Amino acid sequence: MKFSARLLFPLLLFLALGCSSMYGPPYDASRFQSAATALNGRVGVFTMKRLVYRPAAGILAFPDGGIPRYLIDRNYLGLYDFATGATRILLVENALKQDWLPGSSSFHVVAAYGPKVIVRASGQIKRSYAFRSETWVYDLERETREPLPIDAELASRGRELKYFYLTDALGTLVVVAHAAGDPAPQREKAEHLLVRGPGGDYLEIGPMIDYYGLRGGELFYWSPEHRLIAVDLASGRRREAARQEALGLSTDPKAGLAQEPSLIVQQGEDSALAVGRRHEGGWAYEPLPFTVEQVAGKP
CA angle 143, 148, 149 (to 5 degrees): 155
**Judgement on whether residues 114 and 186 belong to the same structural domain of the protein:** no
Q: Could you tell me the pLDDT band of residue 254, with boundaries at 50, 70 and 90? A: confident
Residue 107 and residue 47 in contact, taking contact as beta carbons nearer than 8 Å: yes
Residue 241 and residue 263 in one domain: no
CA–CA dist 278, 260 (Å, integer): 7
Tell me the mean pLDDT in the region 144-172: 96
CA–CA distance from 150 to each of 77, 178, 181, 202, 258 (Å)?
20, 13, 17, 11, 29
Note whether residue 10 is domain-resident.
no
Instruction: Report d(CA 231, CA 212) in Å as an integer.
Output: 12
Pick from 213, 230, 252: which residue ends a domain? 252
The boundaries of the domain holding residue 181 are: 168-252
pLDDT of residue 264 exceeding 90? yes
Average pLDDT, the chain: 89
Q: 11-15, 141-145, 183-187, 293-297: which has the minimum mean pLDDT?
A: 11-15
Measured CA to CA, the distance from residue 200 to residue 179 in angstroms comes to 20
Specify the pLDDT at position 294: 96
Give the chain's domain count: 2
Q: What is the DSSP letter of 241?
A: P
Phi-psi region of 66 (alpha: psi -120 to 50; beta: other; left: phi over 0): left
On whether residue 15 sits in a domain, the answer given is: no
pTM of the model: 0.87
pLDDT computed for residue 200 by the predictor: 95
What pLDDT is stored for residue 32 in this prediction? 98
In the predicted structure, residue 10 carries a pLDDT above the cut 60: no
Please tell me whether residues 219 and 118 are part of one structural domain: no
Phi, psi values for residue 15, rounded to 5°: -65, -40
Q: What is the pLDDT of residues 43-102, one digit of tens each?
A: 999 999 999 999 887 666 666 667 889 999 999 999 999 999 999 999 999 999 999 999
12-16, 40-44, 247-251: the lowest-pLDDT one: 12-16
Domain membership of residue 248 (yes or no) is: yes
In a domain, 265, yes or no: yes
Residue 133 confidence (pLDDT) above 60: yes
Predicted local confidence at residue 258, as pLDDT = 55
* Cβ(213)–Cβ(249) below 8 Å: yes
Backbone angles phi, psi at 275, to 5 degrees: -100, 130
> Does pLDDT of 139 surpass 70?
yes
Instruction: Determine the Cα–Cα distance for residues 67 and 65; give it in Å rounded to an integer.
Output: 7
Domain identity same for 78 and 98: yes
Whether residue 57 is found in the same domain as residue 183: no
Question: For residue 16, what pLDDT is reported?
Answer: 46
